[in-house]
């Protein structure tokens, strides 16, 4: 079992972004393959106050792990990220999402995981989030940061449904799981290496 190489060196800063500003916590929702690994990255980002793994893209009635894994529900394994906009911007979160959390050029898969539930997606909640996400994807494609075209969906969030309790903080609670060691620990190491000013240790919520 092999996962994508996460060391991509210096990654472009978004040209279009929200300004840092004090205010209430904001929410972002990302899908980038197995939600264990995506969560393990974002919960270690400075300014992120809470992360929750769940399902987005389908209906509430089918938002269970057993149904989602049939690849028939339209859901993607996703992570809800609550963050302080005075500390980190939406664009900075996107930069981490594309450079560390997953490979956005893989269509309906991530490494050994295959299916639409493992697709790359940004579920925006505001027009500003949509604008920033679309502009950043265009910026990355124009700069040929990846060898292949980015296939990440940018789509409105219609609902986010919390996953079962045993999925929450799964990577933290199961550090010796072979999947976690191969696919997720390298992402955490890459985050710490590439963004030392944004990396924080995480010991659970």
Cα–Cα distance for residue pair 141/180, rounded to 1 Å: 30
Cα–Cα distance for residue pair 202/205, rounded to 1 Å: 8
No. of helices (H) and no. of strands (E), the chain: 7, 8
Q: What is the DSSP string of 23-77?
A: -S-EEEEEEESSHHHHHHHHTTBTTEEEEEEEEESS-GGG-SHHHHTTT-S--EE
- To the query of whether residue 34 is one of the catalytic residues in this protein, the response is yes
Which of the following is catalytic: 6, 34, 96, 133?
34
Contact 44, 184 (CB under 8 A): no
Cα–Cα distance for residue pair 148/104, rounded to 1 Å: 9
Burial state string for 109-140 with b = 16 or more CB within 10 A and e = fewer than 16: bbbebebbbbbbbbbbeeeebebbbebbbeeb
Residues forming the active site? 34
């Amino acid at each position: 079992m092999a996962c994508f190489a996460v060391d991509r060196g210096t990654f472009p800063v978004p040209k279009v972004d929200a300004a840092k500003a004090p205010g209430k916590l904001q929410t972002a929702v990302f899908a980038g393959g197995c939600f264990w690994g995506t969560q393990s990255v974002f919960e270690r980002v400075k300014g992120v106050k809470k992360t929750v793994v769940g399902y987005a893209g389908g209906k509430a009635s089918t938002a269970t792990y057993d149904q989602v894994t049939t690849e028939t529900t339209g859901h993607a394994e996703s992570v809800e990220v609550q963050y302080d906009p005075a500390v980190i911007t939406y664009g900075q979160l996107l930069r981490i999402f594309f450079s560390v959390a997953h490979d956005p050029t893989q269509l309906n898969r991530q490494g050994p995981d295959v299916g639409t539930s493992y697709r790359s997606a940004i579920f925006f909640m505001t027009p500003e989030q949509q604008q920033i996400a679309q502009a950043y994807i265009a910026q990355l494609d124009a700069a040929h940061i990846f060898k292949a075209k980015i296939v990440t969906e940018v789509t409105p969030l219609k609902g986010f449904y919390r996953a079962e309790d045993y999925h929450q903080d799964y990577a933290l609670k199961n550090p010796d799981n072979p999947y976690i060691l191969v696919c997720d620990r390298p992402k955490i190491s890459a985050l710490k290496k590439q963004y030392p000013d944004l990396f924080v240790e995480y010991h659970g919520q």
